[in-house]
Amino acid sequence: MSSTRNPIKHTFETVDTKTAETEFFLRQMAHPPSEASSFNYLFSAYVSAARTTTLALQQFKHLPGFEAWYGPHRDRLKREPLAKFFLDTRNDHVHGGPYPVTASMHHRGKSLYYFDRGANAPERQDNDVVSMCRDFFVLLLEVAYDCYVKLGVHIDPQQYYTREHFAKLGRTIDDAEVEVWGWVCTSLIKEGCDEDDRWYELRGQVGECLINHLFYAYLGRPTPQPALPDRIADFAFSPEDRGWTHVPAGFDSIEDYEKHQAQCTDT
């Protein structure tokens, strides 16, 4: 992003990429190799990536309102048995502990792996490793998503560069264009573009959330999206057009995942 000022000093890309990395290893475990050792290697990579997701998030503690926002999430993760289990498992393994995955079985043509009894995994209905890893990933994903919702103007250029946000700052579209391009885009004005059009064109030149496909797939919703100009609102890209129709790990379709989640909620 070429600009005379850089109001978003740290992009959220580090959190996005670490979150995507965690899901990558989750997907690999959902289609495991036949060797138990290879599955353990994937699990080790998964828990390490999951841990760095929260560490990457904490680099934004300088943001206004971050501690008030993150404190409840941090406390919840400390209380949540699944989150505590994965943190303890990762720490134990990093310090030389054995791999906690020792048992496997074949079910409907798939290999399911389970934690060793000595690993003290939380008791639950879906107690295979992939199901537990997926649910833990969703917990982390909910935290990242809530950051985009509550602190979005500080981390997401798509939420920062809006008429509404700049009005709160006492600034205008001219200020935004100078910030991004270094000049006011008089050419757009000459072409008949109104202010909403100019904001739309501007946002096309700045970054955006890199993991909306994960938010949409696992949580059923993307990050807050700026309003589109009236002239193109009827031609807005669909989730499929935007690449958000990502099938959650371990499922054949988003619909299968949604049915599974609904069943878990009912039980």
Flag whether 37 is in a domain. Answer: yes
User: Which pair of tokens denotes residue 106?
Assistant: 């074949």
Instruction: Count other Cβ atoms within 10 Å, centred on residue 266.
Output: 6
Cβ neighbours around 211 below 10 Å, total? 26
Specify the pLDDT at position 3: 40
CB 46 within 8 A of CB 133: yes
Beta strands in the chain (DSSP E): 101-107, 110-115
Q: Mean of the per-residue pLDDT values for the chain?
A: 90
* Structural domain includes residue 6: no
Residue 170 located in a structural domain: no
Dist. CA 141–CA 102, nearest whole Å? 27
Residues 266, 178: Cα–Cα separation, whole Å: 53
Q: Does a structural domain hold residue 186? A: no
pLDDT attached to residue 267: 63
Q: Is the model's pLDDT at 156 over the cut of 80?
A: yes
- As a whole number, mean pLDDT of residues 212-232 equals 94
- Model pTM score: 0.91
Query: Which has the minimum average pLDDT: 18-22, 30-34, 159-163, 236-240?
Result: 30-34
What's the total number of domains in the chain? 1
Q: How far is C-alpha 135 from the geometric centre of its chain's CA atoms? A: 14
Q: How confident is the model at residue 164 (pLDDT cuts 50, 70, 90)?
A: very high
Answer whether residue 93 is part of any domain.
yes
- The boundaries of the domain holding residue 79 are 13-161+206-266
Query: Looking at residues 108-129, what average pLDDT do you find?
Result: 84
What per-residue confidence (pLDDT) applies to 1?
A: 36
Residue 138 lies in a domain: yes
Residue 5 has pLDDT above 60, yes or no: no
CA 23 – CA 20 distance, rounded (Å) = 5
Judged by phi (left if over 0) then psi (alpha if -120 to 50, else beta), residue 241 lies in: alpha
* Residue 198 included in any domain: no
Residue 150 domain-assigned (yes or no): yes
- Cα radius of gyration (the chain): 22
Distance from C-alpha of 33 to C-alpha of 40, rounded to nearest angstrom: 10
